[in-house]
Structure 1
């Protein structure tokens, strides 16, 4: 029964997307994209709860912003937004791109980050380099602002602010609706592996660790065990 409902929901979503495609330039197509954004991307749940938090001076994190929130962020002085959700032409990206252009904000998109899996060391190095290059004030976001944005925030603090691993790990917490006990706990596990390496061998910059010592296969073992010290 659940599979049938899921299949029907997916069919409905495809039909809705077909109404606007990759075009939000007209009143009609923008309206349809907004419907998709609220219903299928669950934007209606983010109407009051933004998960907005300043992790360092001029550096913010949040969940997926709506066009109205992007306008507010522009008024806050935000110059750059980093989306960790990829650059595929779907409703949330199309609307975000349009809103950023309208308000003079530079939108930077990355290869879609993983919340429930371990990326390659090269992918994490690339993300760190992007974070280091962003013009402040800037905002980092994923969908909920809990997992991918949390790890990116931790990496930023470690690489750009010289924060301790203890401080960086706070970016992945229940305060941001991140749950270590679920599959997204793999992000905590990656930071724990880095912490264990430091404890065993002494300090090493996080970027260098991903280049030289990070073991993606070992990190992925979290999927099997779901627990770590």
Structure 2
């Protein structure tokens, strides 16, 4: 029976996850992980620019760090690495896991999507998640633009109780985020909270748990084709 394109893609993804879940206990495996990180996961660009920025005195945002950048983060006092991408189908993953283990960095997941409506249960759990972290913490996605920006905005709004407009500055072109493409659904998520919650005196947590409709956000959010082309084909965002 012939598999559909989607099934074939999922099958390849599972093989990649299984491959990079193994320890890097041979030179060949380590070499393959580095090559995959640099060329397949576009890590070559992150050697030049990590898109690393402070969000507060105890929370930082960045692109996927290289092993050397993770070691530098540990030297700078970072205690926790928050992985926003999953990314277990890339060579970056076993390298990151290995450095975190060797340097005593806590590695935790809070997986987000850059092009889809944020999951209600995941966002509702954010407050407890932030409370559980050992700070200072560094949150990263692949490019440090979209999911890192969303997580930083969420951190400021939920954990530090900052105003919405201040939190939204984390979703900005200066970090490489573009709201005119599919990634703009992250901006629209917060704008819906403004209209449906904030302006009516409803707390963010209550809005997420009782009013927020991910399906409606997915259905009603519109982009333009050239913006999607830029994000998907040129910048190759996840």
> 1:226 deviation in Å?
2.8
Residues 92-116 of structure 1: CA deviation (Å, up to 9, x unaligned): 1111000101111010013x31100
**Within 5 A, what are the aligned runs for 1:135-154?**
135-154=134-153
Distance (whole Å) between structure 2 residues aligned to residue 222 and residue 38 of structure 1: 37
> 1:26 deviation in Å?
2.4
Tell me the secondary structure at the aligned position of residue 184 of structure 1. Answer: helix
Contact 2:20 2:93 (8 Å CA) reproduced: no
User: Root-mean-square deviation (CA), in Å?
Assistant: 2.5
Which position in structure 1 is the counterpart of 2:31? Answer: 31
Tell me the secondary structure at the aligned position of residue 82 of structure 1. Answer: strand
Q: Which moved more, 1:20-29 or 1:63-72?
A: 20-29
> 1:89 deviation in Å?
5.6
Tell me the secondary structure at the aligned position of residue 186 of structure 2. Answer: helix
Which position in structure 1 is the counterpart of 2:43? Answer: 43
Residues 85, 213 of structure 1: alpha-carbon distance in 2 compared, 3 angstrom cutoff? same
**Within 5 A, what are the aligned runs for 1:63-82?**
63-82=63-82
Contact 2:118 2:189 (8 Å CA) reproduced: no
**Within 5 A, what are the aligned runs for 1:155-166?**
155-166=154-165
Aligned match of 1:226 in 223, 226, 229?
Answer: 223
TM-score (norm 1): 0.85
Contact 1:16 1:36 (8 Å CA) reproduced: no
Count of aligned pairs between the two proteins: 213
Residues 14, 129 of structure 1: alpha-carbon distance in 2 compared, 3 angstrom cutoff? closer
Contact 2:20 2:90 (8 Å CA) reproduced: no
Residues 71, 198 of structure 1: alpha-carbon distance in 2 compared, 3 angstrom cutoff? same
Which position in structure 1 is the counterpart of 2:90? Answer: 90
Residues 127, 160 of structure 1: alpha-carbon distance in 2 compared, 3 angstrom cutoff? closer
Residues 28, 14 of structure 1: alpha-carbon distance in 2 compared, 3 angstrom cutoff? farther
